[in-house]
């Protein structure tokens, strides 16, 4: 095979790949990822604020809520992109974990404001990470179950 034939074969493969990508609606593009992450952050803030407020009112924390968070996150991502794929599942699972983290951040901010403390935002983030690390085995199992539900529902 000469160099000219190899070059034509390479160009045909590149054209076929470009055609496939342009006509395949199951492939996510960069703007789809940005949209899913943005909507996931907004949804995470809303759900995190609701959970932090409920846990502030009630002395009991329900770990089974994490499975519901995963379900809600997956349904939002599926409806947002109209795609059911592995990539949507991964983003849904990660955004479920981000939602749990944002719940901790909002809970610490609520506690800080009720005690009239003045703490920097980086300290709040660090305290939230510590609170996330100290959830416990059962809590982490439910978080992982919620992430699994988010992944599976997005396929």
pLDDT of 105: 93
Q: Is residue 86 part of a domain?
A: yes
Mean pLDDT score, 129-144: 92
User: Hey, what are 96's tokens?
Assistant: 């479920």
User: Taking Cα atoms as reference points, which of 36, 73, 56, 60 lies closest to residue 113?
Assistant: 56
Q: Is residue 53 part of a domain?
A: yes
Q: Is residue 79 part of a domain?
A: yes
What Cα–Cα distance (Å) separates residue 124 from each residue in 52, 110, 111, 135?
14, 11, 11, 17
Q: Is residue 65 part of a domain?
A: yes
Is residue 15 over pLDDT 70?
yes
Q: Is residue 52 part of a domain?
A: yes
User: In the structure, what pLDDT confidence band is assigned to residue 59 with cuts at 50, 70 and 90?
Assistant: confident
**Range of 69's domain?**
25-152
% of the chain with per-residue pLDDT over 90: 45
Mean pLDDT score, 64-70: 93
CB atoms within 10 A of CB 89: 21
Which residues, other chains included, contact 133 with Cβ-Cβ below 8 Å and sequence gap of 6+?
none
Q: Is residue 18 part of a domain?
A: no
Count of domains observed in the chain: 1
Count Cβ neighbours within 10 Å for each residue of 37-62 and write b for 16 or more, e otherwise: eebbeebbbebbbebbeebeeeeeee
Q: Is residue 135 part of a domain?
A: yes
Cα 102 from Cα 67, distance rounded (Å): 16
Q: Is residue 101 part of a domain?
A: yes
């Amino acid at each position: 095979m000469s160099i000219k034939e190899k070059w034509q074969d390479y160009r045909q493969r590149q054209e076929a790949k470009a055609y496939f990508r342009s006509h395949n609606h199951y492939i996510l593009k960069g703007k789809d990822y940005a949209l899913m992450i943005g909507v996931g952050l907004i949804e995470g803030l809303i759900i995190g604020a609701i959970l932090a407020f409920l846990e502030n009112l009630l002395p009991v924390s329900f770990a089974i809520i994490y499975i519901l968070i995963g379900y809600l996150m997956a349904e939002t991502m599926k409806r947002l992109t109209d795609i059911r794929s592995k990539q949507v599942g991964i983003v849904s699972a990660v955004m479920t974990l981000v939602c749990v983290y944002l719940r901790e951040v909002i809970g610490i901010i609520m506690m800080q404001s009720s005690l009239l403390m003045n703490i920097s935002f980086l300290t709040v983030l660090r305290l939230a990470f510590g609170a996330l690390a100290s959830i416990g085995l059962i809590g982490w199992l439910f978080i992982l179950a919620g992430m699994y539900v988010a992944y599976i529902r997005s396929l």
